[in-house]
Structure 1
Amino acid sequence: MVGVVTKPSPPSTREAGDGTVTEREHERTRIIRAAAEGPTYVVRCHTGDDGHLRLLQHPRRRRCGGEGARRARRGPQPVSKLWRARSLEYTFVSNQIDAYQPFYEMNRDALQHALDAHDADVSEKERTEILAIYHELDVFDDVRDGIERLRDGGYDCYVVSNGNPEMLDSIVEHADIDDHIEDTVSADEVETFKPDARLYRHAAARTGTPIDEIAHVTAGWFDVMGAQHAGMQGVWVDRKRSPWEPFDGEPALTIDSFYDLADELGV
């Protein structure tokens, strides 16, 4: 999911039965664990003197698979990779053909496609349990401390995301960052997904901040481009030291972690 920065606020003082396990039960656990390896948080931050920060969490889908599936015997990676790809592709396509549906449903359809493509034998109940992982995503080690530094330094933090409101509320609560952010902004409010400019402009309007005074900090390259196209400053969280995409300019700033962002802003 994602976040937004508004104009600086006064420095904050907030704190941040034993039993036999059948093969199928073991496999279901493996699918759920594989589908829940962790989110990627995206931060938005204005690097000017009176900068504004926005935080976006964009879940890095957990890998999913099943030994009971003929083509998924190699592990969860093949299913996870297709699930992640289709989930993003569905959002991109829906923006162009006016086929919006809440992200949970989009993600559910993408998971079903990935499971079907790999002949994975997963029940409706098990699929629901896998999808529920999105409500309990963990954060990288630097996220809470980094956001706390930003808040203490006078930056109001928001979460702006493709996720529907219920998903955002549970993710923020589980990640234990609810005391560090001002609010969440969901794509469901405008019924369009990133990188559509309408979502970024809606987020800016929600914060009451001129869009060019917001820096969009995110791990998604397309998210950086979408934000910059809408008028924000793009900050790329490149945790893997990956090469930047070779078209449409470069981010205003590239960082490794939230610590780098706080350092850059001098807080």
Structure 2
Amino acid sequence: MTVLAFDIFGTVLDTSEIIQEFRTKQLEYTWLLTLMGKYMDFEEITKRALMHVLKSRHEEHRFEEELRKWRNLKAYKDAIYLKDISKLVDIYALSNGSVNEVREHLNRNGLLSYFKGIFSAESVKEYKPSPKVYKYFMSSIKDEDAYLVSSNPFDVIGAKNAGMKAIYVNRRNLIVDPLDYEPDVTVRDFEELYKWISNKKG
């Protein structure tokens, strides 16, 4: 049976409205901490990354406003297809965000009921693209036909490196630099993903 593990930030939730320098710094912190063998809660990383960027702009007064934007991210419009996808296959969340944070985001956007479960990097105390994150999911699900679904190229590469299949959602029409790890499937959006699953099931 096919199982899909959806990345959340940037794949299900649209991060284009937040300061992109902040998003980049947030990811940079997760990578640095993992490489250094240290761990910090993702929400704390988010706050520190945001404050760093705002301080560099001399805009610390915008901290609460920008943090609210992050906490109220909207799902992409094509997320409506998650309902139909969930009727064909089991879908899970696989995120750097904490279980509680991801649950709140999905619930706020009316998507939570479509997911069978939420898996977080907090369980292994390392962040994507650490192999531990993907292997934790695969060992928990025990399904050989498990795919990561992500619009973040580094995430796709991380999943493939860990021995997991991957579907690249090419939302921004980017050329992936795969480091010899090509996605198994590439789609433009969740509508195309739904069609692919329908054909696969058929």
* TM-score > 0.5 by shorter chain: yes
The one of 72, 79, 82 aligned to 1:147 = 82
Q: Tell me if 1:132 matches 2:71.
A: no
The alpha-carbon distance between structure 1 residues 148 and 201, as it changes in their structure 2 partners (threshold 3 A), is: same
- Tell me how far apart the structure 1 counterparts of residues 156 and 16 of structure 2 sit (CA, whole Å): 22
Q: Tell me if 1:54 matches 2:16.
A: no
- Tell me how far apart the structure 1 counterparts of residues 26 and 191 of structure 2 sit (CA, whole Å): 30
- Tell me how far apart the structure 1 counterparts of residues 174 and 20 of structure 2 sit (CA, whole Å): 18
**Map 1:1-267 → 2, pairs under 5 A:** 50-59=1-10, 60-61=14-15, 63=17, 80-122=19-61, 127-144=63-80, 146-153=81-88, 155-210=89-144, 213-245=145-177, 247-266=179-198
CA RMSD in angstroms, aligned pairs only: 1.8
- Tell me how far apart the structure 2 counterparts of residues 164 and 170 of structure 1 sit (CA, whole Å): 10
- Tell me how far apart the structure 1 counterparts of residues 65 and 101 of structure 2 sit (CA, whole Å): 14
Give 1:248 deviation, angstroms: 2.1
Give 1:81 deviation, angstroms: 2.8
Is 2:157–2:179's contact at 8 Å kept on the other side of the alignment? no
Q: Where do 5+ consecutive residues of structure 1 fail to align?
A: 1-49, 65-79
- Tell me how far apart the structure 2 counterparts of residues 138 and 61 of structure 1 sit (CA, whole Å): 8
1:164-189: CA deviations, max 9, x gaps?
12211210101111111101111111
| Higher-helix-fraction structure | 2
Report the counterpart of residue 77 of structure 1 in structure 2: none
The alpha-carbon distance between structure 1 residues 246 and 135, as it changes in their structure 2 partners (threshold 3 A), is: closer
The alpha-carbon distance between structure 1 residues 128 and 165, as it changes in their structure 2 partners (threshold 3 A), is: farther
- Tell me how far apart the structure 2 counterparts of residues 181 and 194 of structure 1 sit (CA, whole Å): 20
- Tell me how far apart the structure 1 counterparts of residues 168 and 16 of structure 2 sit (CA, whole Å): 21
Is 2:15–2:73's contact at 8 Å kept on the other side of the alignment? no
Is 2:8–2:102's contact at 8 Å kept on the other side of the alignment? no
- Tell me how far apart the structure 1 counterparts of residues 173 and 46 of structure 2 sit (CA, whole Å): 27
Is 2:148–2:164's contact at 8 Å kept on the other side of the alignment? yes
- Tell me how far apart the structure 2 counterparts of residues 142 and 63 of structure 1 sit (CA, whole Å): 17
1:45-100: CA deviations, max 9, x gaps?
xxxxx322222211454555xxxxxxxxxxxxxxx232111111111111110221
Q: Which amino acid is 1:258 matched to?
A: F
Q: Percent identity?
A: 23
Give 1:246 deviation, angstroms: 5.6
Partner secondary structure for residue 119 of structure 1? coil
Give 1:247 deviation, angstroms: 2.8
Is 2:6–2:94's contact at 8 Å kept on the other side of the alignment? yes
Q: Which has the larger radius of gyration?
A: 1
Give 1:129 deviation, angstroms: 4.5
- Tell me how far apart the structure 1 counterparts of residues 175 and 163 of structure 2 sit (CA, whole Å): 23
The count of aligned residue pairs is 196
Is 2:160–2:181's contact at 8 Å kept on the other side of the alignment? no
1:128-174: CA deviations, max 9, x gaps?
44323333221111112x21221222x11111110112211210101
Q: Which amino acid is 1:205 matched to?
A: S
TM-score under structure 1 normalisation?
0.69
Is 1:136–1:170's contact at 8 Å kept on the other side of the alignment? no
- Tell me how far apart the structure 2 counterparts of residues 111 and 56 of structure 1 sit (CA, whole Å): 21
